[in-house]
Structure 1
Amino acid sequence: MPAPAAVALPTSPTPLPGDTGHSPKTSFWALTLGSVGIVYGDIGTSPLYALKESLHAAAGGGHAPTRDMVFGVVSLILWALILIVTLKYVLLVMRADNEGEGGTPSLVALAQRVLGQSGGFVIILGMVGIALFYGDAIITPAISVLSAVEGLKLVTPAFEPYVLPLSLAILIGLFAVQSHGTARVATFFGPVTAFWFLVMALGGLSHLADDLSILAAFNPAYGVSFLLNHGTAGLLALGAVFLAVTGAEALYADMGHFGRSPIRAAWFGLILPALALNYLGQGAMLLAHPERMENPFFLLYPSWALLPMVLLATVATVIASQAVITGTFSITQQAMQLGLLPRMRVQRTSETEKGQIYIPRVNWWLLVAVVFLVVLFKSSSALAAAYGIAVTGDMVITATLLFIVAWKAWRWSPMLAAAVIAPFLLIELVFLSANALKLFHGGWVPLTIGAALVTAMWTWRRGSALVAEEIHRRRVPLSNFTRMAESGSVLRAPGMAVFLTGSPGDTPGALMHNVKHNHVLHARNVILHVVTEDLPRVPDAERVTIKPISDVFTCVSVRFGFMELPNLPRALAAAGFDAPALSYFLTRRVLVPSPETGMPVWQDRLYIAMARAATDASRYFRIPADRAVEIGARIDI
């Protein structure tokens, strides 16, 4: 009999255009305030160390900075905030949203969609960008918390022995509360961080009168002159200047949590003015009192306010760490859905905000890495050298992918795309070169982390492709199998069975082995193929496609976006299947390393270890344990 045409079943009303996943009950200003805490926490703590480290690099350690140095460094910081954060990220990069979502994987998905089969190199760029973001996510909590707690030494030197253990205790507490979710954390973090920015602005404003000539630092000529006249010291200072814009990539990665407009409103209404005032105030104070070079941020405030400011800064740095932790969860989920990382358990932390998730394994891995860095480097100054390479590298990758998206997806001419994006890329390559001078002073840390993660992602992607090829090589066409099974004397069991397959034209291994070894076929059989689209979310109306083959066999395709948490029973129930009565059959692959399959044996072993650590398919797709049947199959890889 001819196969009926495939039918896409609507399962619920399609979301309205422009829906970014936020509940209508969540007001614009609530999202704006929440973004202040989650998105801008990282860049909001840069004044603690950015100017100090830049001037230390320029002046050569313990020497007092000259007026030219102060003007030059403050000018470079202001223009880094204007060019990189404001123009590039807030106004340009945030336009490249993938159905409301941001981050490197979203940019990769957009670029891949427009390049098609010729976009293989985009995946490599994406892997490097994701790996460098992880490096940033590990270093940010360590340097932020250390820099704040070190302020206790200004209160009294007696606190010095307690800086390290107190920093570790704060970090462990931060990672311990992640399971409560972004929404609950943002409710507290937003107002506190807004207060932090106001206090920073007041601190800077109170010292502008120390030397009002610092306002001339808005003239970029001071920054350019400083770089031209200070040689290697200028480049070293430039690498430290980049500390002022760390956290800009979190704006894009966290866009799905709050939306583009609230993040932009927060930047122009509060964040940029507060940062500019604080850096100008630090510069004016140092022009009048060069001896305060030891810690210009905390010395903006009177002695009676020092301890409260250290406590507030500590809270602010905990919040800063939250920005990259939240972004890491989003990036990891997208990378899993794009096939760059193995499956891991993902928990939703909000019933209304789709982007708010928690990944336990990533959370605890980050904690271990952060604690290791704190114990290894012991101070924020030592960690500062390790910081810039990860961030600048990630920004260079973003600019490269953005050029492809602007050219191919936005339909800009190549000349226009290059004219707009090349200046940002050039600036970031200069920053990257400056940070490369710190390679042997801590810069090796993010590069080592990045290399390890790229190796893992490439191994997972390549190994998964080899497994798919081996399965396809052994394949039995589904059309041949169904004819044989229906015409033979196989016993029929009552009920409906669901067999998952990676290739809808092939017979699932679990179905073949079930008939071969158990000599039984269910009365109705669903061949289920799960597709991950390069969209963040698939409209419910387009979720399920059903194609009947015969009275016994039906092909079903279920589509999910790369930001969604796949739930097969819910999707099938919405499409009219009796979900509680379904039995799910999955293939449990036993992987064996082989030198003849296309990867070195060490890479085979790495892939197998990652596959064993991956979350079971039944758990990942939310299949009830008492409804899942796994049948083993050996595969050489």
Structure 2
Amino acid sequence: MTAEAAKDGHHVRREGIGALALGALGVVYGDIGTSPLYTIKTAVAWTGRVFTPEEALGMLSLIVWTLVIITSIKYVAVIMRADNDGEGGILALMSLLGVKHGRRPYIITMGMLGAALLFGDGAITPAISVLSALEGLKGAAPPIAPYVVPLSIVVLIALFCLQPQGTGRISKLFGPIMVTWFVVIAVLGISSVIRHPQVLAALNPLVGLHYLFGHGLAGFLVLGAVFLCATGAEALYADMGHFGAQPIRLAWYCLVFPALIFCYAGQTGLLLDAPSDKDFDPFYALCPGALQLPLIGLATAATVIASQSIITGAFSMTRQAIQLGLLPRVRISQTSAQSYGQIYVGMVNWSLMALTLVLTTTFQSSDNLAAAFGVAVSLTMLLTSCLMFIAMREVWRWSLALSIAVAGLFVVVDSSFVAANFVKFFEGGWIPILVASFIYFLMTSWDQGYAALRAALERDTMPLSDFIRRFHEKARVSGTAVYLTSRNDVVPVALFHNLKHNKVVHDRIVLLNVVTDQIPRVEPEDRVRSADLPDDFHSLCVRYGFMEQPDIPVALSDEKGDCPLHFNMMDTSFYVGRLSVTPRGHSRWWRIKMQVFKFLHRNALPVTEFFRIPPGRVVELGGQIEL
């Protein structure tokens, strides 16, 4: 059995592949599943709403083969093989490559850029999805048309305000609602294809290539709109850890992919009858007038599910970034006792809500937002393809020729979409780039600042063995003192300060180092590693995966762990250093980044709270350090 099959087998034994495929429909496919609401409508708008049947078929062919190459082949068939102990996503891929050959700056940079771009996408997806669903009211209920934007704002505010409650209860409805959605859009599409069988000619890739290369700039520009059909493909990979590869593939090939193809083909069939009507909405035109209001309700529910998936994905990515040392600690709340993946990050939630509402009120329509939508996702896909080339060579041991052939195809396709989307840079495409640049700047400032802080602390300390010999005769007081430290071979700053001010040390001193491994989760029996040192000093290393939330008291009391020390929390004090950072240096740019790091460091969640150490057992000792 392969490693991938074994991981999927674990999911299947736990819940069954059918149940997992249903869950994947509700979580993984919300974004890509609602793209028919705006993809062809945007492509029509970008071509000037006047085109021939040949051009309509060419556009459909590009959409079909984008779904085949980007989603079916690149993500479902190839990239989902590059899992990090079952977890997917660009940060998990970055960590996987880090496990193989250590921390390489260019891999860290690509991972951080990809994560930053997905944060920007997290604000655009809810706005464009909800707007596109409610825009159906313009045709079904014209008197309500002026209130589409206010209604969208109400739906979005309600969505973000419900996040602190968790998604455990409503998520049980996600799968059935999305099954209904895909069945409905497939039936609507098939009914149109039956009336317009000529659209089946678009299955020939030459039709799309002829349109792309035979219509000059117009053929190239439409690629930016065509790309919208694949904007949710990254979620297939990012959410792989929740369901496993097999259920996601089953849901894609058996329901999602056919439903999308039929829906896009059906919309194209209608375009052959009304190519130049500026108010024509090809998606809602598939539905008979009497049923359009129920379809709008179903579409709104589907877009809320798509938005929910993006928001929870941003929460999960935030936890990964914190554990990997790319962002400062923030408060993370667990919203479900059964599902570890259901968390809530307040700072991310309200930031996304503010940005989403600004985008909704500024752009007013899904057509206007479309220019901003594809830039972030296409760049992330390009970065993923570059990392995949490295994985092909280093993880799968493919030959150089095969790796270049496969990854090269993906890079060429992704680069084409990036170039087409950047044409709309000044019409909204700058927004996700600005957001991503800001987040990337925060990430690099934190990463570099924390590295400089750690180096400064190690420079000002002394080897632990020398310390033990030198202070052997010092007075001892009863109890256990636990000192949090990044290294167990040097003296923690808090221990220096405690000895300096109190002139005593405890009977038992434990140096505690919390390490985040480049794997999603650490087995309980591997959680704690200990070593006894002279004079009743002890060294402990507590390991976590980047998908886990640290809990030090639980780790120290876990009977499954490898910790011979027994802790009485009422007789244990945790000592941590509270450092004040002063930026120094010759470069003005360095001082700016260190000022940002100082702000982030000062406002980060206290390490004791992040590690869930009882506040009544914490002693903080201050200090100042120059960077």
TM-score range, shorter chain: over 0.9
Matched, 1:34 2:43: no
The Cα of 1:22 is off from its aligned counterpart by 5.8
State the partner residue of 2:479.
495
How many residues are aligned here? Answer: 616
State the partner residue of 1:228.
213
State the partner residue of 2:74.
88
CA RMSD of aligned residues (A): 1.8
State the partner residue of 1:554.
538
- Within the candidate set 557, 582, 591, 2:581 is matched to 591
- Within the candidate set 591, 612, 633, 2:602 is matched to 612
After superposition, what is the alpha-carbon deviation per residue over 1:337-356, rounded to whole angstroms, capped at 9, x for unaligned? 11111111222233333333
The Cα of 1:94 is off from its aligned counterpart by 0.8
Pairing of 1:382-531 with structure 2 (within 5 A): 382-488=368-474, 490=475, 492-531=476-515
* TM-score, with length taken from structure 2: 0.95
Code of the residue aligned with 2:203 in structure 1: it is: F
CA spacing shift, 1:197–1:497, aligned 2, 3 Å = same
8 Å Cα contact 1:478/1:506 also seen in 2:
yes
Tell me the SS of whatever aligns to 2:349. Answer: helix
Matched, 1:255 2:240: yes
- Within the candidate set 27, 32, 42, 1:43 is matched to 32
* Equivalent-residue separation in structure 1 for 2:313 and 2:21 (angstroms): 17
Matched, 1:202 2:191: no
> Structure 1 residue runs of 4+, over 6 Å off?
none
CA spacing shift, 1:393–1:323, aligned 2, 3 Å = same
* Equivalent-residue separation in structure 1 for 2:213 and 2:296 (angstroms): 37
The Cα of 1:259 is off from its aligned counterpart by 1.8
8 Å Cα contact 2:27/2:174 also seen in 1:
yes
Matched, 1:315 2:306: no
Higher RCO (Cα < 8 Å, 6 or more apart): 1
* Equivalent-residue separation in structure 2 for 1:622 and 1:631 (angstroms): 19
Code of the residue aligned with 2:605 in structure 1: it is: T
After superposition, what is the alpha-carbon deviation per residue over 1:26-74, rounded to whole angstroms, capped at 9, x for unaligned? 333222111111110000110011011112222x2xx433101110111
Between 1:121-130 and 1:572-581, the stretch displaced more is 572-581
After superposition, what is the alpha-carbon deviation per residue over 1:552-611, rounded to whole angstroms, capped at 9, x for unaligned? 200111111111111111111123522523211111111122245895322222111111
* Equivalent-residue separation in structure 2 for 1:503 and 1:30 (angstroms): 45
8 Å Cα contact 2:84/2:93 also seen in 1:
yes
Tell me the SS of whatever aligns to 1:634. Answer: strand
The Cα of 1:471 is off from its aligned counterpart by 0.5
The unaligned stretches of length 5 or more in structure 1 are 1-15
Pairing of 1:174-213 with structure 2 (within 5 A): 174-213=159-198
- Within the candidate set 518, 543, 547, 2:527 is matched to 543
Code of the residue aligned with 1:542 in structure 2: it is: D
8 Å Cα contact 1:206/1:281 also seen in 2:
yes
State the partner residue of 1:285.
270
8 Å Cα contact 1:209/1:284 also seen in 2:
no
CA spacing shift, 1:260–1:179, aligned 2, 3 Å = farther
- Within the candidate set 328, 353, 378, 1:342 is matched to 328
State the partner residue of 2:254.
269
Tell me the SS of whatever aligns to 1:622. Answer: coil
The Cα of 1:364 is off from its aligned counterpart by 1.3
After superposition, what is the alpha-carbon deviation per residue over 1:133-156, rounded to whole angstroms, capped at 9, x for unaligned? 111111101100111111111123
- Within the candidate set 567, 570, 573, 2:557 is matched to 573
State the partner residue of 2:343.
357
State the partner residue of 2:287.
301
The Cα of 1:20 is off from its aligned counterpart by 8.8
The unaligned stretches of length 5 or more in structure 2 are none
8 Å Cα contact 1:108/1:122 also seen in 2:
yes
8 Å Cα contact 2:12/2:20 also seen in 1:
no
* Equivalent-residue separation in structure 2 for 1:522 and 1:413 (angstroms): 58
State the partner residue of 1:162.
147
8 Å Cα contact 1:20/1:99 also seen in 2:
no
Matched, 1:71 2:57: yes
* Equivalent-residue separation in structure 1 for 2:168 and 2:63 (angstroms): 32
Tell me the SS of whatever aligns to 2:514. Answer: strand
* Equivalent-residue separation in structure 1 for 2:76 and 2:270 (angstroms): 30
* TM-score, with length taken from structure 1: 0.94
The Cα of 1:234 is off from its aligned counterpart by 1.1
Code of the residue aligned with 1:56 in structure 2: it is: A
Tell me the SS of whatever aligns to 1:633. Answer: strand
Tell me the SS of whatever aligns to 2:106. Answer: helix
Tell me the SS of whatever aligns to 2:575. Answer: strand
* Equivalent-residue separation in structure 2 for 1:598 and 1:24 (angstroms): 57
8 Å Cα contact 2:22/2:175 also seen in 1:
yes
* Equivalent-residue separation in structure 1 for 2:406 and 2:189 (angstroms): 33
* Equivalent-residue separation in structure 2 for 1:589 and 1:238 (angstroms): 51
Tell me the SS of whatever aligns to 2:471. Answer: helix
* Equivalent-residue separation in structure 2 for 1:254 and 1:30 (angstroms): 15
Code of the residue aligned with 2:339 in structure 1: it is: E
* Equivalent-residue separation in structure 2 for 1:183 and 1:156 (angstroms): 34
* Equivalent-residue separation in structure 1 for 2:215 and 2:165 (angstroms): 49
- Within the candidate set 604, 620, 623, 1:630 is matched to 620
State the partner residue of 2:85.
99
State the partner residue of 2:516.
532
Tell me the SS of whatever aligns to 1:18. Answer: helix
* Equivalent-residue separation in structure 2 for 1:192 and 1:511 (angstroms): 57
Code of the residue aligned with 1:125 in structure 2: it is: M
8 Å Cα contact 2:127/2:357 also seen in 1:
yes
8 Å Cα contact 2:8/2:244 also seen in 1:
no
The Cα of 1:301 is off from its aligned counterpart by 0.5
* Equivalent-residue separation in structure 1 for 2:411 and 2:395 (angstroms): 19
Matched, 1:171 2:156: yes
Tell me the SS of whatever aligns to 1:493. Answer: strand
8 Å Cα contact 2:24/2:248 also seen in 1:
yes
Tell me the SS of whatever aligns to 2:482. Answer: strand
